[in-house]
Amino acid sequence: MPLSARMLVIVFLAMPLLEPAAQEPKVFPLPDERYKTDILLVVAHPDDEGAATPYLARALDEHKRIAVVFGTRGSSGANEAGAEQAAALGAVREIEARNALTTLGITNVWFLGGKDTASQNVLQSLANWDHGASLEQLVRLVRLTRPEVILTFLPGTFIGEDHGDHQASGVLATEAFDLTGDPTSFPEQLAGPSKRLEPFLENLRPWQPKKIYYFPDADREDIFRGKGPEYSVKEISKSSKQPYWRMALDSFRAHQTQAKSFLDRIAQMDEAQVEKLATADGGWTDALHFVLGKSLVGGSVTGDVFDDITPGGISFARPDVSPEPARPDLSVELGGPYSFYAEFRRAHGLTNLPHPEPPEIALQAPGTLVIPLWIRNRTAKTQEITLSAVLPAGWTAQSGTGRFTVAAKQVAAARIEVILPTLAENGGKKSEPQEISVHAESNGRSIGEPKLRVELRKRALPQ
Ligand SMILES: [Zn+2]
């Protein structure tokens, strides 16, 4: 036995018999505080953050922590700054968005990797974004950033830009709001590795955000008034001594690919000229209106976003699903995004969310309007249905009208296609939306009359 070992034996024998020493408690690691946020903004494209930047600047003055998630890198947009297009443009626009947000002081920014989809149809965007993978990543980011409040586009269809990607960001954010606190949704994110070589489990914790607010991508404002708080953008920031709209414009300077000519123009102007242009052009100085989606902590509809929010987590709240509406045994209704949104509002406890009735859309003319329909036959026999469209003068139903049979207990998908007329030159005035309807009859009696308001435009995103 070497000397040192012999010494140890002697020391050991010399020690009195002790109780086993009390173990020091081990400290579990806590979530990374650098990523904790108060507000998580979820939008679709680089530059969409502009819909909220004056509010974000105000919230930063109040020491709120903010993170941003973009659904896409905006690779289908235009490029005013260079030759780059498609994926290359997406790479450029990612940096533009990061720079725009860094100007405000926001650096926690993620991209879901959805593909920029030029359409007004949210279902096209969700499909093209790989809905499941995007949702999984957004749920992960909400659990990582633990926002008190989610701020996003209002999920719905409207006369406006009505970009399907904007809608998709609102759909995903709403889904995430209802999933992230549920320990059974994406549970692999919540499990922790218990031994070596389990590098797939993430050790996140469920997190239930407290409120979700929306901003609409619609031209009309009437149906959103009084549905949430309003913030002036003309107030002066404590930190920058500038009005919030001016900080938003400074942040927007990063988006050269989207607005180089506009940005070059304002770069030549003095402050008074900038303010005049901003007030006249693009509504930089208009107040911001949010729509309260839901609050799990109370507070009034039009009160401040952070009213009744206190630090600490709250329990998971499963959304209140409203009952399915009663339908007659034989019925017809609008399909596509229109029926999706009716179901979506019902499933997520958002039945008070403002939406136009009848549903509305702005379309490019000349062009084609597609009216998607669901025809439900819950009777025990095959039914004959006659579809006809009631259209303004000059609009013609090209296909999808006439007589059809729907088998017993079947739900049939139908679509009526309408050729839209060339837009009349009317001295630059906007054309008024037209109401169109579909007559559906069976055995000489009406089984439904779905309606749609359609505004014709020189330019609009495809339906
Ligand atoms: Zn956008």
- Tell me which residues have their CB within 5 A of the ion that is ligand 1: 44-45, 48
Q: Which residues pair with 152 in a beta bridge?
A: 42, 214
**SS3 assignment, position 197:** coil
Q: What is the pLDDT of residue 56?
A: 98
- pLDDT value, residue 11: 47
Q: Note the pTM of the prediction, 2 decimals.
A: 0.93
Cα of 432 vs centre of ligand 1, distance in Å, is 25
* pLDDT tens digits, 233-255: 999 999 999 999 999 999 999 99
> How much is the pLDDT for 20?
65
> And the tokens for 459?
């330019």
What's the CA-to-centroid distance between 307 and ligand 1, angstroms? 29
pLDDT of res. 19:
62
Cα–chain center distance at 16 = 69
Query: How far, in Å, from the CA of 204 to the mean position of ligand 1?
Result: 30
At 48 the pLDDT is 98
- Residue 452 CA, chain-centre distance (Å), reads 23
Query: How remote is the CA of residue 366 from the centroid of ligand 1, in Å?
Result: 24
Residue 118 Cα to ligand 1 middle (Å): 10
For residue 213, the CA-to-ligand 1 centroid distance in Å is 18
Report d(CA 98, CA 255) in Å as an integer. 10
What is the CA(363)–ligand 1 centre distance, in A?
18
Ranges of residues in the chain whose predicted pLDDT is under 50: 1, 3, 8-9, 11-13
Find the 457 Cα to ligand 1 centroid distance in Å: 19
Are the C-beta atoms of residues 166 and 153 closer than 8 Å to each other? yes
Q: Which of 252, 46, 55, 245 is nearest to 149 (CA)?
A: 55
